[in-house]
Chain A
Amino acid sequence: MSIRAPLFVLLLLCYGALFSLQEARFAEGSHQLAHPLPPAIQKIALGYLRQLGGEMQFIKASVFYGGLSYKPSKPLDYAEPLSRRLNAAAALHPQFIDTYFLCQATLPHINNEYARYANGVISQGMTALPDNFVLPFFVGFNHFYYLDEPLEAAQLFHLAAKKPNGPIMLEHLANILSAEGGNIYAALIGLQGLYASEKDDQVKKRYAEEIAAFEKAVTVLEAIRRYEKMKGTPPAALADLVPEYLSAIPDIGPIFTLEWKPPHLQVVRVAKKKRPPR
């Protein structure tokens, strides 16, 4: 009986010392976000709790990303597990919208590969939430800003504008990007439609300026078509059209400028040309 009490105290002290040691070692170690199990395995294991599992994946990712003191400084150090976790969250609970907001905030800016990966994750939400306009806007924005794919962006902005509560400015942006991608006729028709339905005088005036610029671009486009018909190949430079096919290259500024990348004529925003490359 007499030896039991000191032995118990000794055991308790031993446990306390080992626990403190373990905590100290844990605090020293690097805090990384672990790779999650594949979504298919999680679906099988969770069953009815699948949605809660998806929300837990989101919480893990957001707590990790929000814990700045733990986060490694370079995004590429944590991008892989973070992207996998967000993909798992979307696969487990595609209707849960927070996953897509976190995905958009954390992945596309890293590099083009992760911008495409983010688009893949958000596409799951577009299928699950067909009435939401924010998700196609996110994907369109990634195509436009990070991937420099204006035509794909235009399609998605157009889709977003058509959704319930979709802002009309996205339709406008879609038309501008269509022109930037070389689809000037579609952009012109779209802008004319917006002009006809707009009530605000200031906005109407802006649309009119843009329509005028696009109409000038169309005259250049038609001249290129005539040139191509006669010579069999597109002109090497726009200056080749003058004076036989066009009296002068029109100035379509101040908002836009023409850019000739044979065989595509693009109407590019001046602001974009001045923007430093990413």
Chain B
Amino acid sequence: MLNPIKHIAALARLVLLDGLRRHALMGLIVLSVAAQAGALLFFDFIPRDIGRASADFILSIAWLSGCILLFFHGVQAIALDEERKVIYSLLARPISRGEYVLGIFAGLAALLFLLNLLLGGLGYATLLLIKQMVPPEYFEQFNILFYLLAWFGLVAMELMLLAVILLFSGLVRGSFPVLLISLSFYAICSGLPVVREAMSQRAAQEGAQPVMEGLLRWLTAVFPDFDRLDFKNMIASAEQLPDLALIALNFGLTASYIGLFLWLACLVYQRRDLQ
């Protein structure tokens, strides 16, 4: 039991160090710091709801940074293993293909976690600074627990995307097609809730369409609704207290989704012809 974990941890360490060596983390941190400094200018355009707008801005910048890491560094890092033949030297060692997939996932997830940890700390400092700069009525609430919850939601979404990218990388050769398919996947995830909302409005006017509604519901199982992990609104507002059971359900679903997609990715890699 310990050996597979050691193999996965060793590979994860390699992926993390490779990311650090290629300045993926540093570049994104510099980009995000510059963008977060923009938050200090951004809130000047907001007359009242400064707390909410600033928190939205900080979390949005972090999401963009995470997406850049996933779509540009993550996709490339996975594809380069094959293109540079690194995968052969790794698999020549006593490491299974499943351990290889999990190691890559753990390494990129660690990189992602490190990025979010740094950005979360910077974002917290920025929000505290903004809170001190404006009168209290424009930034009434700043709840650290909800701030952490919003970040957990954001990291959970990014991990889901990472699991999906790993699966697509196993199914398709080359970084560019994987990038296109992953972006399309994300676009469908963003679009599906809008379509479901439109369908429910139409159903209220013209009557229910159970077949279409059922299809859309099952599609959401594959293309998850990321809005359910979006807790940005709670950071600067005390109006809506979260339903803890629902939050636990959302995170539980996320964990099982990641597990399922990693399992599928392991299966794909085990059957894949690497020649």
Nearest CB of B to A267, in Å:
37
Selected contact of A95 from candidates B57, B186, B187, B233, CB within 8 Å? B233
Give the number of residue pairs across the A-B interface with Cβ within 8 Å: 61
Does A46 reach chain B (CB closer than 8 Å)? Answer: yes
Give complex CA distance A157, B197 in Å.
31
Q: Within B187-213, which residues are at the interface with A (CB < 8 Å)?
A: 187, 189-191, 193-194, 198
By the criterion of a CB under 8 Å from any partner CB, how many residues of chain A are at the interface?
Answer: 25
Residue A221, interface by CB 8 Å: no
Judge if A159 is at the interface, Cβ distance under 8 Å.
no
A59 within 8 Å of B by Cβ? Answer: yes
Q: How far is the CB of B240 from chain A (nearest CB, A)?
A: 9
- Which residues on the A side are within 8 Å of B53 (C-beta)? 55, 96, 98
A97 within 8 A of B: yes
Q: Do B194 and A43 touch across chains, with their CB atoms under 8 A apart?
A: yes
Binds A, one of B1-9, B44-52, B96-104: B44-52
Q: Does A239 touch B at the CB level, under 8 Å? A: no
**Nearest Cβ in chain A — how far from B83, in angstroms?**
30
Taking A44-B194, A45-B190, A129-B239 as contacts, is the C-beta distance between A51 and B49 under 8 angstroms? no
A98/B46 in contact, CB under 8 A: yes
Residues A63 and B45 in contact in the complex (CB < 8 Å), given A40-B194, A47-B186, A47-B190: yes
Residue of A nearest to B56 (CB): A51
Residue from A44, A55, A129 within 8 A of B46 (CB atoms): A55
* Contact assessment for A101 and B47 in the assembled complex, using a CB-CB cutoff below 8 Å: yes
Chain B proximity mask over A22-66: 1 for CB below 8 Å, otherwise 0: 000000000000000000100111111101100100110011000
Judge whether A52 and B56 touch: CB under 8 Å: yes
A96 to B232, CA, bound (A): 12
| Interface contact A55-B194, CB-CB below 8 Å | no
Docked-complex contact A52 and B237, CB < 8 angstroms: no
Instruction: Kindly supply a per-residue 1/0 record for chain B positions 154-165, scoring 1 wherever the CB is within 8 Å of any chain A CB and 0 otherwise.
Output: 100100000000
Q: Is B18's beta carbon under 8 Å from chain A?
A: no
Most buried by B among A43, A48, A95, A131: A48
Is the Cβ of B49 less than 8 Å from the Cβ of A96? Answer: yes
Main secondary structure of the interface of A (DSSP, over half): helix
- B156 → chain A closest CB, angstroms: 12
Q: Residue A51 contacts which of B157, B193, B226, B232 (CB distance < 8 angstroms)?
A: B232
The answer to whether B239 touches A131, judged by C-beta atoms less than 8 angstroms apart, is: yes
Instruction: Give A104 Cβ to nearest chain B Cβ, in Å.
Output: 12
Instruction: Return chain A residues, CB-CB under 8 Å to B226.
Output: 47-48
Task: Please tell me if B60 contacts chain A, counting CB pairs below 8 Å.
Answer: yes
Tell me if B63 counts as interface (CB < 8 A to partner A).
yes
User: Which residues of A are found within 8 Å of B45, using beta-carbon distances?
Assistant: 59, 62-63
Q: B64 at the A/B interface (Cβ < 8 Å)?
A: yes
Does the CB pair B47–A98 fall under 8 Å?
A: yes
**Listed residue (A40, A55, A63, A130) with the most chain B CB atoms within 10 angstroms of its CB:** A55
Are the C-beta atoms of B194 and A48 separated by less than 8 Å?
no
Q: How far is the CA of A131 from the CA of B47 in the complex (A)?
A: 20
Bound CA span A97–B233, Å: 12
Chain A residues near B157 (CB-CB < 8 A): 48
Q: Are B56 and A55 in contact (CB under 8 A)?
A: yes
Q: Given the complex, which residues of B lie within 8 Å of A97, measured CB to CB?
A: 48-49
Residue of A nearest to B58 (CB): A52
**B118 → A minimal CB distance (Å):** 19
A178 to B255, CA, bound (A): 55
Residues of B within 8 A of A130 (CB): 239
**What 1/0 mask marks residues of chain A from 79 to 118 whose CB sits below 8 Å from any chain B CB?**
0000000000000010111100100000000000000000
Q: 24 A-B pairs, CB-CB below 8 angstroms? A: A40-B194, A40-B198, A43-B193, A43-B194, A44-B194, A47-B190, A48-B157, A49-B60, A49-B63, A51-B56, A51-B60, A52-B56, A55-B56, A58-B46, A59-B45, A62-B45, A62-B47, A95-B52, A96-B52, A97-B49, A98-B46, A98-B49, A101-B47, A130-B239
Chain A residues within 8 Å of B, Cβ to Cβ:
40, 43-49, 51-52, 55, 58-59, 62-63, 93, 95-98, 101, 129-132
Besides A62-B47, A96-B53, 4 new A-B residue pairs in contact (Cβ under 8 A), listed by A number: A40-B194, A47-B226, A48-B226, A130-B239
